[in-house]
Amino acid sequence: MTDGSIEAVRRKTRLRLTFTGVHLLLYFSFTLNWTAWGTVLGDRLGATQVTGSLLMFVLLVCIFIVLETIFLVISQRSER
């Protein structure tokens, strides 16, 4: 076990915690819908019936998957 391998693990740990932090920030931002700050999310988008709240839900699901894809790609590159 070398200092190099420990440093490599620490780098990976920072990466893991950063992605988790970003994910949790986005995840808990959904609570805004139930606060006064998120009132604007209840508005409809243009002439459609779709509200900002509904769009936020779909976008969050998609962003989480994109985050995972980026994480997977970065991890695979660092393993090569």
Distances (CA, A) of 12 to 6, 27, 33, 46, 55: 10, 22, 34, 44, 33
Q: Which residues bind another protein (CB under 8 A)?
A: 1-2, 5-6, 8-9, 12-13, 16-17, 19-20, 23-24, 27-28, 30-31, 33-35, 38, 41-42, 44, 48-54, 57-58, 60-62, 64-65, 67-69, 71-72, 75-76, 79
| Smallest distance, another protein to C-beta of residue 54, A | 6
Phi and psi angles of residue 35, each rounded to the nearest 5 degrees, phi first: -120, 170
- The structure tokens listed for 22 are 């970003």
Please report the sign of the dihedral spanned by the C-alpha atoms of residue 45, residue 55, residue 26, residue 77.
Answer: negative
Q: Smallest gap, in angstroms, from Cβ of residue 62 to another protein?
A: 8
Nearest distance from residue 77's CB to another protein, in Å? 13
